[in-house]
Structure 1
Amino acid sequence: MANGTVALHNDRPLLGIGFMLIAGLLFVLLDSMAKALGQDYSSVQVVWARFTGHIAVIAVYFLYRGGAGKKLLISESIPGQFLRGVMLLAASTFAYAALAQLPLLQVHVVNFTSPLLVTLLAVPLLGEALDIKRGAAVLLGFIGVIIAIGPTDWRSDPVLLYPFGMAFCFSLYQLSTRRFGRSDAPLTSLFYAGLAGALISSLVVPFFWTPIATHDLWLFLGIGVLGAGSQFGLIQAMRFAPASLASPFLYAQLIWSSLFGFLLFGDVPSLNTYLGAILIVAAGLYIATRRR
């Protein structure tokens, strides 16, 4: 039965691509809300809203499912699932701190290096091999990062390091997803990732709390819903299409982040940003589609 289910899901590639495109749009909307809130609130408070809203949405769904919902709480490795959540929390904290001060597209371009970092880190952490061609693709991608960021003084502008912290933590999140809970239901992984982030951020957010203005309440509520929705869309995309087919469509975020960055925040990226992005995306596409 399981094999038949997989075959059925993989036989619906257009649906998987559709979910990936929707997930990419939701991620950019999520980050746009985070950037807007980051002008007046601490990134810690924004992260807290993202994860508590996430876990609230999933908890309501579990309650709706009743007994079936309780079964979704069973995991082959709860500590491993919490480790995934911690990595996602760290990535989100770096991301929102960066978004508060940097253009939307620039942060997204650096985050596109996470597949490159996954390829490198999988060698020591998971014992995977790295051939010369894939190694060259990783090198090409990092050259793209240098071009996209341009000459800069890291010491005088340390906020430029935040997107790299985000990409590094997100790559560890992906690797821990490979390692833990591989037989868990997608909603199980979604629940525990949100729970870890909600618990930890709730412990520290009182030290960074700013009273929420009435006109910002919808943003705080929306960021949690989008957090859960974007992750669910990503999971569904992987269910209905092979990762090598669906993943490249996440690069459509380049279009959305360029558009929303200009319309909402007046960001006008430089030509170097786009040239670097092309190299990073090309490297990521090669790694995603190359058979090992």
Structure 2
Amino acid sequence: MMQADARKGIALMMLTTIIFACQDGISRHLAEEYNVFMVVMIRYWFFAAFVISIARAQSGSIRKAATTSQPAVQIFRSLLLATEIFVMVAGFVALGLVEAHAIFAAYPLIVAALSGPVLGETVGWRRWVAIGVGFVGVLVILEPGFGVFSPAAILPLIAAVMFALYSLLNRYVARRDSAATSFFWTGVTGAVLATAVGAWFWEPMTGGDWAWMAVLCVSGAAGHWTLIRTYEVAEASMVQPFAYFQLVWGSAIGLFVFGETLELHVAVGAAIVVSAGVFTLIRARKARRRG
């Protein structure tokens, strides 16, 4: 039974990575034509409606879903995610999907590095070595000292740090709040921030791009739903390494749809980052089992 659940969880995680990679491609297309703030704002409107419906279904009422003993942390982590999305979409436009995804893949390493100070978890020397190796991989991708360093390369790295902190705060709030409550705060708070910023940058859209926006909104909801289902049927430690396939699908879209190129240093650096990340996930899983 456990093996069947693991297979189903892995299949759902793979589907989730495909959906999110397609979402990234659509986000890049729209953000190249329109203001990033407006694109993210509309995306968040639909996401908030989806979150409210899910939270109400799981908790019985919106009031119950919104009830939390740690509102400040919930608001902060939600604002962090919304800001990360702004930064990452800007990174897709400025840097391309291939290189942006390769750098962003470092976020599990940042999670491991910050899990001590944020959550009080113990990180063994093997994971610290893997974290160091992973960041060497990031340096290989960035190629500091070779030619002119692109300032745009810092965008996905900033996004990775923010998403790592957001992930850790998810685990922190989960100690006292249900998933439905955290999900509710994520969507509603993010929509408020996105609207407060994006409303100043409204631009008229063509009918065709409104269709792409609709696909973006639906894919966002679908991706979060499959991710929820993934963690319902399988352990997070079992399926998390497969989240790296988003790098594969996202890079493929960048190469074949947007005509990007895969530089050797990006491929080598990404391989180092992913290998180090998978190792830290495996070590963390073993540490939890021993605990």
TM-score (norm 1): 0.89
Matched, 1:109 2:139: no
Give the alignment partner of residue 68 of structure 1, picking from 60, 65, 71. 60
Tell whether the 8 Å contact from 1:118 to 1:175 is kept in structure 2 after alignment: yes
Amino acid at match of 2:240: S
Distance 2:182 2:2 in 1: 19
Amino acid at match of 1:50: R
Aligned to 1:4: none
Give the alignment partner of residue 261 of structure 2, picking from 244, 268, 271. 268
Amino acid at match of 1:49: I
Counterpart of 1:39 in 2: which secondary structure?
helix
Deviations 1:203-226 (A, max 9, x none): 121222222222210222222222
- Please report how far the alpha carbon of residue 9 of structure 1 lies from its aligned counterpart in structure 2 after TM superposition: 8.0
Alignment gaps of 5+ in structure 1: 1-7
Give the alignment partner of residue 165 of structure 2, picking from 172, 178, 185. 172
- Please report how far the alpha carbon of residue 146 of structure 1 lies from its aligned counterpart in structure 2 after TM superposition: 1.2
Matched, 1:15 2:8: yes
Q: Closer, same or farther in 2 for the Cα pair 1:233/1:184, shift >3 Å?
A: farther
Aligned to 1:92: 85
Distance 1:67 1:16 in 2: 24
How big is the alpha-carbon RMSD for the aligned residues of Structure 1 and Structure 2?
2.4
Distance 2:58 2:282 in 1: 40
Matched, 1:49 2:42: yes
Aligned to 1:281: 274
Q: Closer, same or farther in 2 for the Cα pair 1:223/1:14, shift >3 Å?
A: same
Q: Closer, same or farther in 2 for the Cα pair 1:174/1:226, shift >3 Å?
A: same
Deviations 1:154-182 (A, max 9, x none): 98732211111100110110011011133
Aligned to 1:118: 111
Distance 1:179 1:85 in 2: 13
Counterpart of 2:281 in 1: which secondary structure?
helix
- Please report how far the alpha carbon of residue 153 of structure 1 lies from its aligned counterpart in structure 2 after TM superposition: 7.8
TM-score (norm 2): 0.89
Deviations 1:215-264 (A, max 9, x none): 21022222222222222322322222122210011111232112211221
- Please report how far the alpha carbon of residue 275 of structure 1 lies from its aligned counterpart in structure 2 after TM superposition: 1.1
Shift >4 Å, 4+ stretches = 8-11, 60-63, 152-156
Amino acid at match of 2:224: Q
Q: What is the correspondence of 1:110-189 to structure 2 with a 5 Å cutoff?
A: 110-151=103-144, 157-189=150-182
Aligned to 1:5: none
- Please report how far the alpha carbon of residue 118 of structure 1 lies from its aligned counterpart in structure 2 after TM superposition: 1.0
Distance 2:84 2:217 in 1: 16
Q: Closer, same or farther in 2 for the Cα pair 1:66/1:84, shift >3 Å?
A: closer
Deviations 1:80-132 (A, max 9, x none): 32222111111101101111121212111111111111111122222222221
Distance 1:104 1:34 in 2: 10
May I ask how many residue pairs the two structures share in their alignment? 284
Identity of aligned residues (%): 28
Q: Closer, same or farther in 2 for the Cα pair 1:9/1:93, shift >3 Å?
A: farther
Tell whether the 8 Å contact from 1:11 to 1:240 is kept in structure 2 after alignment: no
